[in-house]
Amino acid sequence: MSLPLVLMLSLLFSTMTLGGAARDRPPAIFVFGDSHVDSGNNNYLLTSLSKADHFPNGIDFKASGGMPTGRFTNGRTIADIIGEEIGQLNYAPPFLDQYTTGAALLNGVNYASGAGGILNKTGALYVSRLGMDLQIDYFNSTRQQLDEFLGKIKAGELVQKAIFSITIGANDFLNNYLTFISDFEAPDTYINRLMIALKDQLTRLYQLDARKIVMGSIVPIGCIPYQTSLAPLDETGCAALPNKLATKYNGKLRDLLSELNQIFPGSNFLYANLYDLLMDVITNHQSYGFETASDACCGNGGVHGGIIACGPASSLCGDRSKYVYWDPYHPTEAANLIVAKKLVHGDAKDISPKNIQQLV
- Which of 219, 229, 208, 202 is closest to 36 using CA atoms? 219
User: Exposure string (b/e) for 204-221, b if CB count within 10 Å is 16 or more?
Assistant: bbbebbbbbbbbbbbbbb
**Cα torsion through 113, 118, 121, 122, rounded to 10:** -60
131, 198 Cβ separation under 8 angstroms: no
CA pseudo-torsion sign 221, 223, 228, 229: negative
Instruction: Please give the angle made by the CA atoms of 171, 42 and 242, to the nearest 5 degrees.
Output: 10
Task: List beta partners, residue 32.
Answer: 166
Q: Which residues are designated catalytic?
A: 35, 327, 330
Whole-angstrom distance, CA of residue 57 vs CA of residue 135 = 24
Q: What residue spans of 266-315 are helical by DSSP H?
A: 274-283
Strands 315-316 and 298-299 turn out to be antiparallel
SS3 (DSSP) at 190: helix
Whole-angstrom distance, CA of residue 328 vs CA of residue 241 = 18
* DSSP letters spanning 95-157: TTSTT-SGGGGGG--B---TT--SSTTTTGGGSS---HHHHHHHHHHHHHHHHHHH-HHHHHH
Phi, psi of 168 (to 5 degrees): -150, 160
Whole-angstrom distance, CA of residue 119 vs CA of residue 131 = 7
43, 114 Cβ separation under 8 angstroms: no
